Structure 1
Amino acid sequence: MKKYDEILIGSGPAAYKMSNLLAKTNHKVLVIEGFEYGGTCPNYGCEPKIFLEGAVRTVLQSQQLLKHGISQPAQLDWHALMQTKLQRFNPWPSETREIIKKSHDVEDGYAHFIDDKTVSVNGHQYQANHIIIATGQTPNTLTIPGKEYLHTNYDLLSLKNLPPRIAVIGAGFVGLELATLVAAAGAEVTMIIHSDRILRGFTRAEDKALVDAMQKRGIKFIFNANPQKVSQQGKELTITTDQGEVKTDYILNATGRQPNIEKLSLNNTNIAYDRHGIKVDGHMMTSVEGIYAIGDVVSRKQPKLTPVAEFEGQYLFDYLIGKTTQQITYPAIGQAAFTFPEVAKVGVNPDDVANDPQYQVKKIPLKYGSLYAGQNDQISTLTLVFKGRQLVGASEIGDYAADDINNFIPIIGLHIDSNEYRQKVMAIYPALGDKVAGLLP
């Protein structure tokens, strides 16, 4: 049986971060990957999504500026866009594998635990001083009749020809972002949502404004609807829900993601887990000494994002080599949905403290600024949450919400009060950054 210093199960952002750091040591490392090297983010998630969003934003902004300086809006060529995307991203898994292989041993296949000390893959058994589980998440499955007609974001982001009608089940980040993408390319989109609202982590006002904007572009929303079955007649698909039927040509299942632990055979171990993922302590160690978990497979309250996964990879490396003995402490974490308009946030949700006298909430329409008026951006609204003179939360809906909220993350994360900010920072005029000082109390 071969033994290593570290075994990394998975090669997504968390494991890849650790892999690169361990490559600078003399540690003997094995990386096991049964899916695509690099994981979801660079292959079927954030990287291709933001790549495609560049073209989508241009098209939708040109439509927004029709009769406001633009006489002919841009059109999206799905086939050409997808060919460009595939040329860029198809080589990434093999390239990532080769990078890892330069420094570490690799094993292509799904790992499963034999016991608390041993993993097996392709009939080979391995042990290590530290076993690190970084298998991420996988799309949820809907156990309804006709589930074989459902597709995931993995499928849609490799779809060479765009169907005329697409139904999206679910309205989280993935569902809303991909609905924005395919609708901009000309598909007729219907969204089926099991509750009465979309992104629950944002404010109700931002949710409503985003739905209104998407509806104005022709995207249909059916709320409080639960799919019961999918049937096919000829090339047409029918989704039967408790609110009626939806006819479509393609169905995207975007009902969320679940921890990718099914193939690990955790029942052969004493590793504790729940429906949110593997449980860890403040040092990212599981309930079994010597076995750790990092990235989206972890059960935690922090959002499951690529930067968070990489942060955990850096932390665990530092902990294992003795650079730190402290428990992990997470920074201020920003989130954004790259819809159109975008929604973004960091820190305290304004809705959660609206009636708490310890907090002050400021809501600022941005449409009057020259930058936003010039883009005919009538929706952009920034909401700030203060506790005394300290900014503790910020959220925005608007064409550039993600970039705008990035201005506030350092203020919150570094606990900079308004006086200190004004003395040490002078932002570029007339972008949003210049307005920060004026907005602080």
Structure 2
Amino acid sequence: MEKKIIIMGGGPGGYVAAIRAAQLGAKVTLIEKEALGGTCLNKGCIPTKALYRNAELVNNLKASEDFGILVDNFTLEVNKIQERKNGIVHQLVSGVEQLMKANNIEVRKGHGVLYSCEENIKKVKITLDDGREEIVEGDNIIIATGSHTFIPPIQGVNNEGVITSDDIINFKEIPKSLVIIGGGVIGMEFGAIFNSFGTKVTIVEALPSILNMVDGEIVKRLNPMLRKKDIEVHTGAMVKSIEKHEDKLLVNVEGKKGEFTLEGEKVLIATGRKPNIQGLNLEEVNIEYDKKGIKTEDNYETSVKGIYAIGDVNGKWMLAHAASHQGVEVAERIMGIDNQGSTLIPNCIFIFPEIASLGATEEQLKAEGINYKTSKFLFGANGKALALGEGEGLIKVISDEDNKIIGVHILGPHASDLIHEGVVIMNKEVKVEDIKHMVHAHPTLSEAFYEAVLALNNEAIHAVPSRRK
């Protein structure tokens, strides 16, 4: 008997789940009220990485003299930057649309709400773009409605010039100054981009540290790099209010040493995202949720049998690749394939230099009382990094008492690519002794990972021997 699956949301969780379910023979209806691809493709991951590439090229031009290339001056054409970014997004959205057609997935444009969740037949009511309503039926439902920007209750947050990440990607002018409220991934990435564009960037973070989810040593080494780039960071600081004063915004902050005021042409609210759970009719169909998102079991099934929640809406990992992975896992489980999935989710932060991490941090291991070893290798001792002109940063690895790698943390060139060596090794539970016999090509950045692993046993060739016993 053919399975009928309804998927609510066409982002990286929903559309990937739809394709995998269709591949396995399911009849799939996907409901999306906006463009396919979700926040990631339309307002997040992809447009920001397009802008990041612009910023990267600007940084290269600024450093061109070091390579014997003299550039007298250059200008940034915002219209061209936006055209390129929008073109990339359009190309990828069109690609997803074609994949829906190629896999015979029915796409319904509109807003869906849970209507009836009986044991055998589950129903979703769709309000279509033209105002008509219709009801679709299925054996299973996958909720993949994503998340939205969180706006904190700060006095003056509605002033003109106070913007969110949804707004800033469509900038028409490069601001002379930008105050960013929030030192998490979103705030730091936009800070890096606009700093490269010539904007004076100031970041305000309420927690004791920026990027609080990242290994502490990585952040400690990042901070002087930010100061060198003239990015001002205030941690342990709470924004009390925002005032409009002529053509400037005044951000009133209470910090460790008292109150102070920051000035910016624009203020970016980058205080995180919240799951899209409103308007889904969750209460009426008895699906449990809280402010963190829809509650699920380890298999992503909700409190109602046969209904699953994946991606940002379940609040576990607000990362596009986590949503896609969960989508495949759930689609296969519905179709009778036992897929245990993986909880090893890499996290990549696109600043200068890049940060990528996987697995345990030192702080987590200390808090849990787990014995471990750490080692690191500096990119300043790596030939490829120096040839690239990107010798800042390091690769840090953590192993347990059995010499199994349990954490990889990278600050440096192409960290978002290098982390995947750690992904393979940690998923396969490879030990240091096994990695030692894996030949790494020279000269490559990957050699830094190899040397960092060897250093766990004090066997790194291109590093000063550790004094530890």
Question: Structure 2: how far apart are the matches of 1:276 and 1:230?
Answer: 27
Go from structure 1 to structure 2 and tell me whether the alpha carbon gap of 1:109 and 1:291 turns closer, same or farther (over 3 Å shift): same
1:345 aligns with 2:357: yes
Go from structure 1 to structure 2 and tell me whether the alpha carbon gap of 1:151 and 1:360 turns closer, same or farther (over 3 Å shift): same
* CA apart distance, 1:68: 6.2
Q: Is the 2:379–2:448 contact (alpha carbons within 8 Å) kept by the matching residues of 1?
A: no
Alignment of 1:365-384 (within 5 A): 365-384=378-397
Question: Structure 2: how far apart are the matches of 1:348 and 1:314?
Answer: 25
Q: Is the 1:56–1:76 contact (alpha carbons within 8 Å) kept by the matching residues of 2?
A: no
1:89 aligns with 2:103: no
Percentage of matched positions with identical amino acids: 25
Structure 1 unaligned segments of length 5 or more: list them. none
Q: Which moved more, 1:187-196 or 1:223-232?
A: 223-232
Alignment of 1:133-212 (within 5 A): 133-149=143-159, 150-212=162-224
Question: Structure 2: how far apart are the matches of 1:169 and 1:282?
Answer: 34
Q: Which moved more, 1:227-236 or 1:199-208?
A: 227-236
Q: Which moved more, 1:8-17 or 1:97-106?
A: 97-106
1:264 aligns with 2:280: yes
Give the match's secondary structure for 2:111.
coil
Q: Is the 1:65–1:375 contact (alpha carbons within 8 Å) kept by the matching residues of 2?
A: no
Give the match's secondary structure for 2:137.
strand
Question: Structure 2: how far apart are the matches of 1:56 and 1:434?
Answer: 27
TM-score between both structures, scaled by the size of structure 2: 0.85
Alignment of 1:393-408 (within 5 A): 393-408=407-422
Give the match's secondary structure for 1:147.
coil
Task: Look up the equivalent residue of 2:109 and give its one-letter code.
Answer: D
* CA apart distance, 1:340: 0.3
Question: Structure 1: how far apart are the matches of 2:40 and 2:73?
Answer: 28
Give the match's secondary structure for 2:37.
coil
Go from structure 1 to structure 2 and tell me whether the alpha carbon gap of 1:284 and 1:238 turns closer, same or farther (over 3 Å shift): same
Match of 1:389 in 2: 403
* CA apart distance, 1:292: 0.9
Go from structure 1 to structure 2 and tell me whether the alpha carbon gap of 1:73 and 1:17 turns closer, same or farther (over 3 Å shift): farther
Match of 1:113 in 2: 114
1:334 aligns with 2:346: yes
* CA apart distance, 1:163: 2.1
Go from structure 1 to structure 2 and tell me whether the alpha carbon gap of 1:75 and 1:200 turns closer, same or farther (over 3 Å shift): farther
Match of 2:322 in 1: 308
Deviation track 1:358-398 (CA, whole Å, cap 9, x = no partner) reads 31111322212222333444531221111232222111211
Q: Is the 2:374–2:397 contact (alpha carbons within 8 Å) kept by the matching residues of 1?
A: yes
TM-score between both structures, scaled by the size of structure 1: 0.90
Structure 2 unaligned segments of length 5 or more: list them. 128-132, 458-469
Deviation track 1:63-91 (CA, whole Å, cap 9, x = no partner) reads 45654655448856251222211222246
Q: CA RMSD in A?
A: 2.6
Task: Look up the equivalent residue of 2:331 and give its one-letter code.
Answer: F
Question: Structure 2: how far apart are the matches of 1:369 and 1:353?
Answer: 29
Go from structure 1 to structure 2 and tell me whether the alpha carbon gap of 1:90 and 1:74 turns closer, same or farther (over 3 Å shift): farther
Task: Look up the equivalent residue of 2:40 and give its one-letter code.
Answer: C
Match of 1:58 in 2: 57
1:290 aligns with 2:306: yes
Deviation track 1:391-414 (CA, whole Å, cap 9, x = no partner) reads 221112113322333222212111
Go from structure 1 to structure 2 and tell me whether the alpha carbon gap of 1:141 and 1:368 turns closer, same or farther (over 3 Å shift): same
